[in-house]
Structure 1
Amino acid sequence: MPRSDATSPRPAWLYREYEPVGVDLGSPAAVAAYDRHQGTDPDADDALLERLGVAAGTRLVDLACGTGSLVVQAACRGAEAHGVDVSEEMLAFARARAQRSSVRAHWHRAGFLDYEHRAEPADVVTTKSALHQLPDFWKQRALLNAAGMLRPGGTFYLWDVVFSFEPSQAHQHLHRWINTAGHPEGQGFTRADFEAHIREEFSTYAWILEGMLQRAGFDIIALESRSPTHGEFLCRRR
């Protein structure tokens, strides 16, 4: 399978996706801690893949795959599973996870903006907890790229920090999120981590994402806001 690593020169004006914002994940120890803090759960991954109709022979691409749990679980179901991430440390962790599970997956060092899917068009493209690293202009570019790698009628799934509250209520909802989600040091993502997310990363409103998805060529099949600060979109490529 040809590799889709980002080895060709990129325009000087392109967003610096290989310098991600937020929690420092530049070491194996930091990546292992991230995996613990995310609460990786193969059963939850499997339930999502079942919802998305991922089975033997399905072609799946997980953008910003992180530690690779969803990709490995898809491979366990017999899918042709591709994991894409800008982080070498994340991909090393993901490869080790696949090896422990005795499955084969395809790993690509690339980002939302420059990944080129050189295999057959995907049936399913997913991204979880990552699109918020891009400002809105670049989110739109990323969604166009995701649509381009999907077959017509293919499924796109997005889960992330997405704000469904009214803009005038942002202060109270963000304070509530920080106060309830933060864990003591060493036991998960801390209050300071969530404060940094709001201050330095680029989570946006659900109504803005709806417009971006539609302009990228998706029909939104379902939108669920599990809380005022998190949501998921299930889409079909037109």
Structure 2
Amino acid sequence: MPRSDPARSLPAWYFSEYAPVGIDLGSRAAVAAYDRNQGTDPLADDALLDRLGVTDGTRLIDLACGTGSLTVQAARRGAVAHGVDVSAEMLAFAKARADRFDVAPQWHHAGFLDYTHQGPLADVVTTKSALHQLPDFWKQQALVNAAEMLRAGGFFYLWDVIFSFEASSAETHLRDWIAAAGRPDGEGFTRTDFETHVREEFSTYAWIVEGMLRRAGFDIVSRAFPRPTHAEFCCRRR
């Protein structure tokens, strides 16, 4: 699981992706619990891959791939799949998942900001439930980096905790979300997990993300806001 550029020296002011905020995922048990809580669903992964036109030979990069479900499903249908994550424990879990299905995606111990793709540009770049780990300045840099690894006309897919409510109603929406989404310990992400997300992580407004996507070189093909706290963007590289 190579780092993208292990010899690269980053300036002292550079954001540290390797000390992620929010939920601690530094142990094997924590990663296994995360996978359960996230509700990993290969059928949902396949439905998304169908929407993005991922077939045999498609070059796909999954940024912040986590436990590797989407990356593995892409490899199972013959895609040239790359999974990128800052967590060595996540990548170990993902590799074990790939081994169970006898596929071999390429795994990279790297982040949104320092991953440097080698080889042909990707046809599809995806990221789910992870961009909120970066403050807005660094989100923009991450999106620029994602665009640079994607061919013209290729697809970029983003799903995350992104807010579509008005700022004036933020407290009401966040309180309702935390109350509805929190589960008892051992049955999913807890109320404390969601409180930590809001307090310590960097989810932002949809109108900010839309501007970032356009400035990074993407045209927004579709957007969806299934809940006031979540959003999906499917974009095409200009």
Which of the five TM-score ranges fits, normalised by the shorter chain? over 0.9
Aligned partner of 1:10 in structure 2 is 10
Q: Is the 8 A contact 1:71 1:105 kept in 2?
A: yes
The answer to whether residue 151 in structure 2 is matched with residue 151 in structure 1 is yes
Aligned partner of 1:171 in structure 2 is 171
Helix, strand or coil at the partner of 2:162 = strand
Instruction: Tell me the distance in 2 between the aligned counterparts of 1:224 and 1:211.
Output: 16
Aligned partner of 2:136 in structure 1 is 136
The answer to whether residue 231 in structure 2 is matched with residue 231 in structure 1 is yes
Q: Is the 8 A contact 2:222 2:234 kept in 1?
A: yes
Instruction: Tell me the distance in 2 between the aligned counterparts of 1:13 and 1:237.
Output: 29
Aligned partner of 1:161 in structure 2 is 161
Aligned partner of 1:115 in structure 2 is 115
Number of paired residues?
237
Instruction: Tell me the distance in 2 between the aligned counterparts of 1:66 and 1:216.
Output: 24
Q: Is the 8 A contact 1:4 1:118 kept in 2?
A: no
Change (3 A) 1:27 1:4: closer
Q: Is the 8 A contact 1:4 1:110 kept in 2?
A: yes
**CA deviations over 1:113-132 (Å, ceiling 9, x no partner):** 00000021000000000000
Q: Give percent identity, aligned residues only.
A: 71
- How does 1:78-93 map onto structure 2 within 5 Å? 78-93=78-93
Query: How far is the alpha carbon of 1:5 from its aligned partner?
Result: 2.9
Alignment gaps of 5+ in structure 1: none
Query: How far is the alpha carbon of 1:11 from its aligned partner?
Result: 1.6
The letter of the residue matching 1:229 is T
In the superposition, the TM-score normalised over structure 1's length comes to 0.98
**CA deviations over 1:52-89 (Å, ceiling 9, x no partner):** 00000000000000000000000001000000000000
Query: How far is the alpha carbon of 1:6 from its aligned partner?
Result: 4.1
Query: How far is the alpha carbon of 1:220 from its aligned partner?
Result: 0.3
The letter of the residue matching 1:140 is Q
Q: Is the 8 A contact 2:4 2:117 kept in 1?
A: no
Instruction: Tell me the distance in 1 between the aligned counterparts of 2:5 and 2:102.
Output: 27
- How does 1:14-163 map onto structure 2 within 5 Å? 14-163=14-163
Instruction: Tell me the distance in 2 between the aligned counterparts of 1:225 and 1:91.
Output: 30
Which portions of structure 1, spanning 4 or more consecutive aligned residues, are displaced by more than 4 angstroms? none
Instruction: Tell me the distance in 2 between the aligned counterparts of 1:58 and 1:3.
Output: 22
In the superposition, the TM-score normalised over structure 2's length comes to 0.98
Q: Is the 8 A contact 1:158 1:233 kept in 2?
A: yes
Calculate the aligned-residue CA RMSD, in Å: 1.0
Change (3 A) 1:4 1:152: farther
Instruction: Tell me the distance in 2 between the aligned counterparts of 1:62 and 1:196.
Output: 25
The letter of the residue matching 1:58 is T
Instruction: Tell me the distance in 1 between the aligned counterparts of 2:155 and 2:122.
Output: 9
Q: Is the 8 A contact 1:6 1:109 kept in 2?
A: no
